[in-house]
Amino acid sequence: MSNEQKYRFSWDLLGNIPLGRPNLGPRTRLEVYRLMQFTLRDVLERHVGAGETDRIFLEAGRMAGVEFYRHFLGPFDSFSDFANSLQAIFKEMDIGILRFEQSDLDSCTFLLTVSEDMDCSGLPELGYEICTYDEGFIAGLLEEYTGLPLEVQEIDCWCTGSRTCRFRARPAAPSA
Amino acid sequence: MDTTLLEALKAHIDAAASSGDPQYLADLAGLLEQAAAGIRRGIGQDPDPVLRAVCDVYYMAAEPPDPLPGDPEDQARLARLLADMRATQRFALALSQGDLSADLEVRGYSAGSLKSLQASLRHLTWQTAMIAKGDFSQQVDFMGDFSTSFNAMVRSLAEARDQIQRQNEELARINASLREEIASRRQATARLQVQRQLLEQREQERLRIARDLHDGPLQEVIALVYALEVLLQSCNDPAVCETLQETLEIALQVTRELRQFAGELRPPALARFGLKKAIASYLENFQKKHPNLRLEAHLDSNGDQLSETTRLALYRIHQEALNNIVKHAGASRVQVWLQADGERVRLRIEDDGRGFEPPAGWLELADDGHLGLVGMQERAEAAGGQLEIWSRPQQGTRIQVTVPACPSRSRENPGER
């Protein structure tokens, strides 16, 4: 079995949805998305361990954020336009209710919340944050806007008892 | 402070101490320290810190934890629950005191709703900061009636900003227009200054020529007249006498013409006699020279409200206009008006001569050789006035010059009459 990459991502891989789903359209139910993600996570964790799985989810989320920004957003004349558009498209596509709590373009630090998100809202309390894919996704979005590598960390999560997920973004530490 | 309350507090604190929870005890100890410090400062000075500290202690001590029942697993679960509840209490207390820090450590579902409220308030704070930076696109879509008021406020701010922007743009436009106007006026002023200097030089040159004529050729011709008169007195030959008499007549005629020519060149004594008299005097001589011309003067103003330079300009314009009529118009009737109101003085010279087709502009006028008219225009402009020429072939010509009056002129210079 060849280890050569078979599915290098491109937006075309998502296909022509109106053509392919003329009756059902572009939407599916959230539990289906979660079913697919959590089973994938389960298998990955068993094969490569939880730490490596987190790294994979983070990387995939970042790639998704970058592609999402390039396809649906930007470029923007001002941060306000970016923030408003991001908030609007999150709501329009049922990704979640995004709200900025802090934004400092000079230091490139951001604090934002996503309520009713796709990954964790309504999950049992686990005592730890689980939105690793979202961390990557938000990092990809903000990196595309700022042009700087960022590190995004979830500091509040439904799974730690919060009713909204809170993410802190700041410039990534230079890699050794 | 009421000692009963202190006693009650002490009882609560003792009860709390018996629970044995080190974190809880530490919290209580800290709060008690604050209360004690407040009490030491004295209620009379600032009761708020004391009362707040006492309330905090009372709040913490209100429900001291009971010893946990059950097996170790249940005890652990209950302990976690109690820890969450206490964390929630601390979080709620901080929230009630306006502390919206995202770093407040609290976990568990019991605090979840409060954290949602905190997140909403934090987002609202961010929105307010964005509005303060001029982002009026911020809209609140949560928090009920507050959203309506907040969004209305943002709309009002945006409208006020837009209005200020429009006013600024209007001001900028007016400023630009004023700058252009100022530049244009400066150019016009500079041009007028040059014109005035040129006219002044021209007057000086005329005066010099008039003096030269008077002191040179005129004196020589007068000497010639004397010589001829002497010769005539001693002459015995009738033929020679006749020739001498004719020569004397010619010399006298030359003398008169030289005097008249020098007189025209010399500026009239406007300051002494006034514009009205100067023009009237000129017209009288003009009528004598051109007896076939029907000359009518309507001189209602003396031009006292005009400067000396402006009066001279009007005099020269009227002079030039009359000379033009004699040279070119072939007119039989000429009328001269000099009128004034509070704001301007108007001079009009009208003839019934052959007229002409006035060119479109002054440059064409100069190109067509109407240099006299161009000179009139320059004089009128230098005086801050306007020259209008109306003429049609075979319908005569009307020249009108209007100059602004200087109301204080006659008061300031009463002697210039």
Instruction: Check residue B168 and give its pLDDT.
Output: 96
Which among A101, A105, A165 is the top mutation candidate for probing chain B, defined by the most B β-carbons within 10 Å of its own β-carbon?
Answer: A101
From the list A81, A111, A156, the residue with the least C-alpha distance to B116 is A156
Measured between CA atoms, how close is B84 to chain A, in angstroms?
Answer: 10
Nearest-by-Cβ selection for A164 from B108, B115, B137: B115
Cis peptide before A18 (omega within 30 of 0): no
The answer to whether B388 touches B400, Cβ cutoff 8 Å, is yes
Instruction: Check residue B18 and give its pLDDT.
Output: 65
Measured between CA atoms, how close is A10 to chain B, in angstroms?
Answer: 34
Measured between CA atoms, how close is B52 to chain A, in angstroms?
Answer: 28
Distances in Å between the Cα of B158 and the Cα atoms of B133, B141, B153, B251, B255 are 12, 18, 9, 93, 87
> Strand pairing partners for A151?
A170
- Cβ of residue A37 closer than 8 Å to a chain B Cβ: no
**Distance in Å from the first CA to the final CA of chain B:** 99
Measured between CA atoms, how close is B17 to chain A, in angstroms?
Answer: 29
- Chains A and B form CB pairs within 8 A to the count of 66
The answer to whether A99 touches A113, Cβ cutoff 8 Å, is yes
Question: What band does A143 get if pLDDT is binned at 50, 70 and 90?
Answer: very high
Chain B residues touching residue A99 (CB < 8 angstroms): 119-120, 123, 126
Chain B residues touching residue A160 (CB < 8 angstroms): 107-108
> Strand pairing partners for A165?
A114
Instruction: Check residue B413 and give its pLDDT.
Output: 42
If chain B, 417 residues long, is cut into consecutive pieces of 10 residues, what is the mean pLDDT of each piece?
55 62 65 64 57 61 55 79 83 88 81 87 93 90 86 92 94 96 88 81 85 86 90 90 92 88 76 84 89 91 83 90 89 92 91 87 69 84 89 93 72 38
- Cβ of residue A38 closer than 8 Å to a chain B Cβ: no
C-alpha–C-alpha distance, residues B217 and B219, integer Å: 6
- Per the CB < 8 Å rule, is B107 touching A155? no
The answer to whether B395 touches B335, Cβ cutoff 8 Å, is no
**Between B341 and A56, residue with greater pLDDT:** A56
- Per the CB < 8 Å rule, is B115 touching A101? no
C-alpha–C-alpha distance, residues B33 and B27, integer Å: 10
Nearest-by-Cβ selection for B108 from A83, A155, A161: A161
Chain B residues touching residue A113 (CB < 8 angstroms): 119, 122-123
Q: Tokens 């001001």 belong to which residue?
A: B171
Sheet containing B333-340: which strands, arranged edge to edge? B294-299, B333-340, B344-351, B397-404, B386-391
- Cβ of residue A161 closer than 8 Å to a chain B Cβ: yes
Distances in Å between the Cα of B143 and the Cα atoms of A74, A129, B117, B119, B124 are 30, 27, 9, 12, 10
For residue B365, how many other CB atoms are within 10 A of its CB?
18
The helix (H) or strand (E) run that includes residue A101 is: strand A97-104
Instruction: Check residue B410 and give its pLDDT.
Output: 43
The tokens describing A40, both together, are 């994938």
- Cβ of residue A166 closer than 8 Å to a chain B Cβ: yes
From the list B40, B16, B11, B15, the residue with the least C-alpha distance to B27 is B16
- Per the CB < 8 Å rule, is B107 touching A84? no
Give all domains of chain A, ordered by start, each with its CATH number.
24-171 (3.30.1380.20)
SS3 B215: helix
Give all domains of chain B, ordered by start, each with its CATH number.
3-132 (no CATH), 271-417 (3.30.565.10)
Non-local (6+) Cβ contacts of B390 within 8 A are B358, B397, B398, B399, B400
> What is the distance, to the nearest Å, from the Cα of residue B92 to the centroid of all Cα atoms in its chain?
60
Chain B residues near any Cβ of chain A (below 8 Å): 84, 102, 106-113, 115-116, 119-120, 122-123, 125-126, 130, 135, 137-138
C-alpha–C-alpha distance, residues B50 and B34, integer Å: 8
ipTM value = 0.82
